[in-house]
């Protein structure tokens, strides 16, 4: 197996195991409470979720700290060890406190793997393959959650005792242990090694990932191009001086590239914030109610197994929805998919509100109970159990279908693209680990907002009902406009080209820049900085027309180049 494929499969398996572990924790929490091991109330189970989310927030920040001392491989190995330790703790848990600790380690593992795996793949993958490998990571995470849900369903339907969660938690080791050995055999990120002044190890890692001898012409040419770009970016202004302390950033040396890291931080953090505030958590909460009531109306029974079957099927559908970006992202790009996802979500929410409002008005006219309409989330026939008329399944099924379609648009436009964008936008060879800082801050911000959404969604649903969806309808329309106006396209561009784009200090509005909005089609026959020879990436990159030879730096000036490669003097 090629080394690049080995790395991709290793990280996919690691993320699969982390997602599986986080999903399977709900079984342990409910089982401990049900069997009397935890003598508290149902709220103890929710605290397990809180411990998991706290670990998910701390994990990316820990990656930021560790990246200054160790590379991508040790960080992922530590994350997998954390997952293995969590599996041991939760499998042998006899007290809820042990489960809290295990949940914290599981969240820590998931946060570290999510942040580092995307960075590692983006730094080592060839330009045409970057987006596909990140989408594969997203598919692996969705598959882990779906498999965990089906295993939960099987054990719940067939188990005869309340200790089945221990077998479920032990299954984590089936995925975590092989992932550890696969990651251990994978090469380190050559970009991280080069940015930390380890050129010999970086060249060896580059040769391994490309499956070519170290002294071969393609490896030599590619490595020299990376060294040249490293020399241009090593002493540029850094994030810590601008955003965290009051210390001023150093003035760039003439000929150095100004990377404009604060603007990049605003873009990636804003993108992850938008991905969290699209209302998908609210749609998920509505879907859980719809599943329960749809089955109860169709069967006339309140049996637990029917909703469990439907709820188990939902993650499988979510997993299937993560596959289309694998084929669409390289063709359409990040911008078009995100805009399509936002507009599609807004349309689905609008249809759901219209259908539910129409049916609610019809139902309220046939029911004189005021309490019935106050408890209606979508329509009286679904959620009000006090009505005496025959339930109408058509509106329930219609809104269920519309919200399920909203999942499709979210997975199409926002589920994987956000992590791809944040990993690509970091300075590729900066000595201050700013690419890790950007990804860590953005990921931690996303998880922190998700914690707030978990506690606020239920309140909004029960207080505002279907009108709560109107909030997310307008936010999705606003997010589509924000992406169209401010976010450049990165698909088809090498990481060096992205650095050159920001070095030009372009306008913050990209609407009038056609090159910044379009997907770059690669041509064979050259590499960045190589004068037209074929490089290790097999891609054609030119600074001026994006396919050929890099321009010489003019002494006394700062090279500021964008997609068009126009150099401007430093003012």
Q: DSSP letters along 386-441, please? A: T--SPP-HHHHHHHHHHHHHHHHHHHHHTTTHHHHHHHHHS-TT-TT-HHHHHHHH
pLDDT of 382 = 37
First-to-last C-alpha distance (Å) of the chain: 51
Least confident of 30-39, 40-49, 152-161, 214-223: 30-39
Structural domain includes residue 307: no
Structural domain includes residue 176: yes
Q: Is 74 exposed, middle or buried (0-12, 13-18, 19+ CB in 10 A)?
A: middle
Structural domain includes residue 431: no
Over residues 174-180, mean pLDDT: 90
Q: How far apart are CA 99 and CA 92, in angstroms?
A: 9
How many domains are contained in the chain? 1
Query: What distances in angstroms separate CA 316 from CA 128, 398, 462, 465, one per listed residue?
Result: 29, 20, 28, 27
pLDDT of 480 = 93
Over residues 525-554, mean pLDDT: 34
pLDDT of 152 = 75
**What torsion, rounded to 10 degrees, do the Cα atoms 317, 319, 325, 326 define?**
-130
In 251-286, which positions are buried (b, 16+ CB within 10 angstroms) versus exposed (e)?
Answer: ebeebbbbbbbeebbebbbbbbbbbbbbbbbbbbbb
Between residues 152 and 541, which one has the greater pLDDT?
Answer: 152
Structural domain includes residue 141: yes
Q: How far apart are CA 367 and CA 13, in angstroms?
A: 54
Structural domain includes residue 470: no
268-326 per-position pLDDT tens digit: 999 999 999 887 877 777 776 666 666 665 555 444 455 556 667 778 888 999 999 99
Over residues 430-438, mean pLDDT: 82
Query: What distances in angstroms separate CA 385 from CA 300, 366, 369, 373, one per listed residue?
Result: 12, 14, 11, 11
Least confident of 247-251, 298-302, 424-428, 462-466: 247-251
Over residues 131-142, mean pLDDT: 91
The parent domain of residue 26 ranges over: 1-186
Residue 242 predicted with pLDDT over 50: no
Structural domain includes residue 29: yes
Least confident of 94-108, 266-280, 339-353: 94-108
Neighbouring CB atoms inside 10 A of 523's CB total: 13
- Which helix (H) or strand (E) segment holds residue 217: the answer is helix 217-233
Structural domain includes residue 4: yes
Mean pLDDT rounded to a whole number for the chain: 74
Over residues 119-135, mean pLDDT: 89
3-state secondary structure of 493: coil
Supply the CATH number for residue 107's domain: 1.20.1250.20
Residue 133 predicted with pLDDT over 50: yes
Strongest mean pLDDT among 16-30, 67-81, 161-175, 503-517: 67-81
Residue 494 predicted with pLDDT over 80: yes
pLDDT of 453 = 82
pTM of the model: 0.81
Structural domain includes residue 83: yes
Strongest mean pLDDT among 144-153, 368-377, 486-495: 486-495
pLDDT of 240 = 45
Query: For residue 82, what pLDDT band results from cuts at 50, 70 and 90?
Result: very high
Q: How far apart are CA 380 and CA 483, in angstroms?
A: 38
Neighbouring CB atoms inside 10 A of 343's CB total: 16
Over residues 186-198, mean pLDDT: 90
pLDDT of 35 = 47
552-564 per-position pLDDT tens digit: 333 333 333 334 3
Cα angle 263, 269, 272 (rounded to 5 degrees) comes to: 140
Query: For residue 380, what pLDDT band results from cuts at 50, 70 and 90?
Result: very low
pLDDT of 481 = 93
């Amino acid at each position: 197996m090629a080394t690049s494929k080995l790395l991709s499969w290793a990280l996919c398996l690691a993320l699969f195991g982390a997602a599986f572990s986080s999903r399977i924790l709900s079984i342990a929490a409910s089982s401990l409470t049900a069997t009397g091991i935890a003598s508290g109330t149902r709220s103890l189970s929710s605290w397990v979720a809180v411990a998991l989310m706290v670990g998910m927030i701390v994990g990316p920040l820990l990656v930021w700290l560790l990246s200054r001392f160790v590379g991508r491989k040790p960080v992922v190995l530590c994350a997998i060890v954390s997952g293995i330790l969590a599996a041991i703790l939760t499998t042998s848990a006899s007290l809820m406190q042990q489960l809290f600790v295990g949940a914290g380690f599981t969240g820590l593992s998931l946060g570290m793997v999510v942040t580092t795996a995307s960075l590692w793949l983006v730094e080592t993958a060839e330009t045409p393959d970057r987006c596909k490998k990140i989408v594969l990571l997203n598919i692996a995470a969705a598959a882990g959650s779906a498999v965990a849900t089906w295993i939960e369903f099987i054990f719940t339907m067939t188990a005869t005792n309340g200790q089945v969660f221990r077998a479920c938690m032990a299954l984590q080791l089936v995925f975590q242990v092989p992932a550890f050995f696969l990651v251990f055999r994978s090469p380190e990120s050559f970009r991280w090694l080069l940015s930390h002044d380890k050129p010999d190890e970086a060249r060896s890692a580059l040769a391994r990932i490309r499956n070519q001898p170290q002294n071969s012409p393609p490896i030599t040419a590619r490595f020299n191009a990376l060294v040249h770009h490293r020399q241009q970016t090593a002493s540029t202004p850094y994030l810590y001086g601008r955003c965290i302390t009051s210390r001023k950033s150093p003035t760039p040396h003439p000929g150095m590239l100004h990377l404009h890291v604060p603007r990049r931080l605003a873009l990636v953090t804003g993108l992850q914030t938008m991905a969290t505030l699209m209302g998908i958590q609210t749609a998920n909460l509505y879907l859980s109610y719809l599943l329960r009531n749809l089955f109860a109306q169709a069967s006339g029974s309140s049996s637990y197994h029917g909703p469990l079957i439907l709820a188990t099927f939902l993650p499988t559908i979510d997993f299937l929805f993560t596959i289309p970006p694998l084929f669409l992202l390289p063709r359409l790009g990040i911008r078009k998919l995100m805009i399509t996802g936002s507009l599609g979500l807004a349309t689905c929410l609008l249809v759901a509100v219209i259908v539910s409002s129409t049916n609610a008005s019809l139902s309220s006219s046939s029911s004189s109970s005021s309490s019935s309409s106050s408890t209606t989330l979508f329509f009286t026939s679904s959620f009000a159990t006090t009505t005496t008329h025959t339930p109408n399944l058509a509106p329930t099924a219609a809104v269920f279908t519309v919200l399920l379609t909203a999942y499709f648009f979210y997975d199409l436009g926002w589920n994987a693209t956000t992590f791809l964008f944040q990993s690509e936008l970091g300075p590729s060879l900066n000595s201050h680990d700013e690419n890790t800082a950007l990804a860590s801050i953005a990921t931690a911000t996303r998880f922190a907002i998700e914690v707030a959404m978990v506690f606020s969604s239920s309140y909004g649903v029960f207080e505002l009902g279907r009108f709560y969806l109107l909030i997310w309808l307008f936010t999705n329309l606003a997010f589509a406009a924000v992406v169209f106006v401010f976010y450049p396209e990165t698909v088809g561009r090498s990481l060096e080209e992205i650095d050159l784009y920001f070095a030009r200090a372009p306008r913050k509005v990209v609407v009038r820049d056609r090159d910044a909005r379009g997907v770059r089609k690669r041509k064979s026959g050259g590499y960045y900085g190589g004068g037209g020879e074929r490089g290790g990436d097999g891609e054609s990159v030119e600074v001026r027309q994006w396919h050929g030879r890099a321009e010489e730096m003019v002494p006394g000036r700062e090279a500021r180049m964008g997609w068009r490669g126009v150099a401007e003097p430093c003012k």
